[in-house]
A and B are shown apart, each in its own frame.
Chain A
């Protein structure tokens, strides 16, 4: 079965540094998502992306965050100036047509640690 691939699996950074988390969605998918999970807590929606623009974002997704689909295969999440509270597992997901008739598969996640 096709997979959503995320790199790196772990990322350690210093507070204030920029990080880019990378995702390769399933190849014929059109909708892309980022979620995050702070340790021991529930999974939270960050942003959805379709047709090269953000379709929805949560309150968490402030000006420090941005997403991009720089080419036909990658989908990235950038955090401009990381804070301690950005430490979390970040999950990428993709679907072909939103949630209609769709399973929603997640990548295996990137564990971000901000020191």
Chain B
């Protein structure tokens, strides 16, 4: 069965701190896809990144970076120099190449205080 675990329910940091959101996944598929989404208080799901199982290169996009490690089945997300606007719920999701559906983790609520 496929599963995504985001063990951190809530994280609170002070602005400019770095913060890492953890994501651990389970799948028996050899080809799969990992996603991160941001859900601000307004409720929409904002796409942040997609990774396929064959691409273990870490990625950096501005203050955001992602560390994909197949050996530990983890796909962690780091925000550098956090800002108040980063306050949101962040979801990690696992996609199957066969079905196209996403399995979401429970989400991590990030609060960045000024």
Contact = CB atoms under 8 A, between A and B. Distances in A.
Contact of B100 (A31, A44, A58, A91): A31
Interface residues of B, number: 22
Interface of A, helix, strand, loop or mixed by DSSP? strand
B91 A42 contact: yes
Given A42-B106, A42-B107, A104-B35, A111 B43 contact: yes
Interface residues of A, number: 28
Interface of B, helix, strand, loop or mixed by DSSP? strand
A48 B99 contact: yes
A45 B33 CA distance: 15
Nearest to A9: B43
A98 B100 contact: yes
A106 B100 contact: no
Nearest to A50: B100
Nearest to B103: A45
Given A106-B45, A111-B43, A95 B104 contact: no
Interface of B: 33, 35, 37, 43-45, 47, 50, 91, 93, 95-97, 99-107
